Amino acid sequence: MHLQAVFGIAATHLQGKSEAALLALSRSLKIAEDLDEAVNQVALLGMLRTFYFRSGDFRTALLYAQRCRAVSETVDDVAASAQARSILGRSLHLMGDLASARVELEASLDLWSRVRRTTIYLSHELHYPSEVTLARNLWLQGHPLQAEQRAHDIIETATMIDRPAALAVVLGWAASVYLWTGNWDLAEKHIEAIVYHAESNSLGPFIAAGRARRGELAILRGAAQTGVEDLRASLRAIHAVGYETLTTELSISLVHGLNMIGQFAEAMELVDQTISAVAANGDELYLPELLRVRGAVLLKMPQPREDEAKDCLSQSLDLSRRQGARAWELRTAIDLARLEASRGEIGVAAKILRPVFDNFVEGSHTMDLMRAQELLIQLD
């Protein structure tokens, strides 16, 4: 059972999606079920969820996470419960259920704090995935300072352990926080660390992910052509190994870069393909941002399609509110307010943006809040 599990999880780290990894994990789970070993079932269901999660099949991953959580309730084991709640929280996060994800992640961290051990638990990395996912969740819910602090703390902790794959996962997910807040110097530092650790330990999927992050950062810093080329190459490598966890997030950055260099047809084709993929795969967390970026492309075309863009932005605003994703809501409110202002509707623009901006109580130095404040000053 354990030999099959170790092979499966190692193959997933090194190769990404592979039938050999899936077969080994499935065999190991069957043995655990035949032996009625609930604790091992929790671990193996978690590994299978990780397999589908990294393959980009987030709906199937959620089903395994829910099974894992149900099995954990049948056994009196704190670590099993902590692991199951972490796994479910991370799946709910990408499904766009931010409130439920936060409940599960915080409960997981509370449980992990009661586990008196320093080694890994059946090939999982204790509290690290919960911490870094909670950092992202906090940013999305409108707490950028808390998000940055939590990301900083977990990176510091993960750096001290001799687990390159775990550190690469933490750095890869934490990079989102720094890219989103506009803290690009720290983003660069951690992105280079991802690539270094991945290359030093032959972690193929993480090498591609780290290089893709480089492309994202280049686009944000204005080197759009370079960033687009890097992202295209990295996404090809990511697709080749089936490591699709961050594909939607990276595709959004590529659309942004294509829009910047005037490749509007390709940008529109990619954003529409990505929206369709989200509908199929389930990482609906990104849908408000996809709709916002689609609106941005429509507005920048040689013949802007303002009415269609406004419809995209309105849909994005509504969906971000339903998700409780105040960070996406702010970005969309900025774009929609600018569109209204360009049409001479200054009062409408201020009415859209002001209440969204006023909901934030921290992070005035972060990128989106600074953009919002500057626009509000102009509107006033």
Which tens digits make up the pLDDT trace of 255-312?
A: 999 999 999 999 999 999 999 999 999 999 999 999 999 999 999 999 999 999 999 9
Which residues, other chains included, contact 258 with Cβ-Cβ below 8 Å and sequence gap of 6+? 228, 264, 266, 267, 270
The arithmetic mean of pLDDT across residues 339-350, rounded, is 96
Same structural domain, 176 and 108 = no
| In the predicted structure, residue 34 carries a pLDDT above the cut 90 | no
Q: Is residue 269 part of a domain?
A: no
Contact yes or no for 213/246 (Cβ under 8 A)? no
Could you tell me the residue range of the domain that residue 57 belongs to? 1-126
Verify that 119 and 13 share a domain, yes or no: yes
Residue 116 lies in a domain: yes
Local confidence band at 47 (pLDDT 50, 70, 90 cut-offs): confident
Task: CATH number of the domain at 101, please.
Answer: 1.25.40.10
As for how many domains the chain has, the answer is: 3
- ∠ CA 271-227-221, rounded to 5°: 105
Residues 79, 30 share a domain:
yes
Domain membership flag for residue 28? yes
Per-residue confidence (pLDDT) for residue 15, from 0 to 100: 55
pLDDT at 108: 95
Q: Are residues 160 and 58 in the same domain?
A: no
Same-domain check for residues 169 and 114: no
Give how far Cα 61 sits from Cα of 49, 68, 77, 203, Å: 4, 10, 23, 22
Are 110 and 156 contained in the same domain? no
Is the residue at 236 inside a domain?
no
Q: How confident is the model at residue 8 (pLDDT cuts 50, 70, 90)?
A: low
Q: Are 86 and 129 in contact (CB under 8 A)?
A: yes
Q: Let me know if residue 112 belongs to a domain.
A: yes
**Residues 346 and 161: beta-carbon distance below 8 Å:** no
Q: Which two tokens stand for residue 151?
A: 């990301």
- Tell me the one-letter amino acid at 16: G
Band (118; pLDDT cuts 50, 70, 90): very low
7 & 40 share domain: yes
Please provide the distance, in angstroms rounded to a whole number, between the alpha carbons at the two ends of the chain.
66
89 lies in the same domain as 185: no
Q: The CATH number of the domain where 377 resides is what?
A: 1.25.40
| Beta bridge partner(s), residue 124 | 121
| pLDDT tens digits, one per residue of 168-222 | 889 999 999 999 999 999 999 999 999 998 888 888 788 999 999 999 999 999 9
Q: Are residues 113 and 153 in the same domain?
A: no
